[in-house]
């Protein structure tokens, strides 16, 4: 387990103005007033948190940092700790009705929108999942597992990844779908999804964190949209 380094001014290359601006963006989120009240350090969120058992991660620390409006510390957490959260929202049982998990959701969105370096790193492990879901509109499949990205799955994750196909055939599960063999989504649905992602800025977010992945997805999307008669829709 890597120890979380919270030393002051750890990211001295980033100006305090920039750190303030990012936190202002977090606070301006319309969900903000319902996710943070005040924290009296009871530790229920940490007790309930599965990630806290595997990482040097504390939802209490996140709630405290944002309650204090300590923008230097918040930047440090946005650059590291927030990506250790499983987003399971077990912390929602907070007696003050804070939601560290939802605070993190907002912080992650701001990190992604602003292309923070750690957002790119953290999301690298999800490239295959994004690729699959964005193009097919459907499910996660077991062969999306990228063993290097998920240490909390244990050391045997490599063995599972290597032998996945054989082991699944031996079971066998109800379907044997993989990234290559998902069920078919009808044309109307997938075109609507592509349009929604285009119009809501989701594609811009992906461009900000993974340009290579963006290029691959956009190629496919543009082709399908053109076939469907949307020749005026372009990504750039």
Q: Which residues bind another protein (CB under 8 A)?
A: 6-8, 37-41, 60-61, 64-65, 67-69, 73, 96
Of 27 and 224, the one with the shorter C-beta distance to another protein is 27
User: H helices then E strands: how many in the chain?
Assistant: 12, 0
Shortest Å distance, C-beta 92 to another protein = 18
Nearer to another protein, 107 or 190 (CB): 107
Q: Which of 134, 132, 112, 118 is nearest to 207 (CA)?
A: 112
Nearer to another protein, 6 or 44 (CB): 6
Nearest partner of 219 among 203, 208, 205, judged by Cα: 203
Beta strands in the chain (DSSP E): none
Closer Cβ to another protein, 6 or 160, answer by number: 6
For the CB of residue 19, give the shortest distance to another protein in the complex, in Å. Answer: 16
Nearest distance from residue 16's CB to another protein, in Å?
14
Please report how close the Cβ of residue 7 comes to another protein at its closest, in angstroms. Answer: 7
Kindly list the distances between the CA atom of residue 52 and the CA atoms of 62, 73, 87, 89, 156, in Å, as whole numbers in the listed order.
12, 19, 12, 13, 21
Token pair listed for 18: 């920039």
What CA–CA distance (Å, rounded) separates 154 from 146? 13
Contact present, 176 and 169 (Cβ < 8 Å): yes
In angstroms, what is the C-alpha Rg of the chain?
A: 20
- Residue whose CB is less far from another protein, 64 or 146: 64
C-beta of 44: minimal distance to another protein in Å?
15
């Amino acid at each position: 387990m890597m120890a979380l380094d919270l030393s002051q001014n750890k990211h001295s290359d980033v100006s305090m103005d920039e750190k303030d601006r990012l936190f202002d963006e977090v606070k301006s989120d319309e969900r903000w007033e319902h996710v943070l009240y005040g924290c009296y350090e009871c530790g229920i969120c940490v007790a309930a948190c599965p990630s806290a058992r595997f990482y040097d991660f504390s939802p209490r620390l996140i709630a405290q940092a944002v309650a204090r409006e300590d923008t230097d510390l918040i930047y440090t957490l946005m650059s590291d700790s927030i990506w250790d959260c499983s987003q399971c929202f077990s912390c929602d049982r907070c007696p003050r009705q804070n939601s560290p998990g939802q605070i993190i959701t907002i912080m992650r969105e701001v990190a992604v929108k602003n292309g923070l370096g750690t957002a790119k790193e953290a999301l690298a492990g999800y490239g295959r999942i994004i690729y699959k879901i964005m193009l097919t509109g459907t499910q996660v499949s077991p062969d999306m597992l990228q063993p290097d990205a998920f240490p909390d799955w244990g050391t045997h994750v490599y063995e599972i990844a290597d032998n996945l196909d054989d082991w699944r055939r031996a079971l066998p599960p109800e379907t044997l779908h993989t990234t290559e063999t998902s069920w078919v989504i009808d044309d109307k649905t997938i075109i609507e999804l592509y349009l929604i992602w285009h119009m809501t800025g989701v594609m811009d977010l992906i461009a900000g964190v993974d340009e290579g992945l963006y290029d691959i997805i956009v190629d496919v999307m543009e082709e399908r949209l053109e076939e469907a008669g949307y020749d005026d829709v372009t990504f750039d």
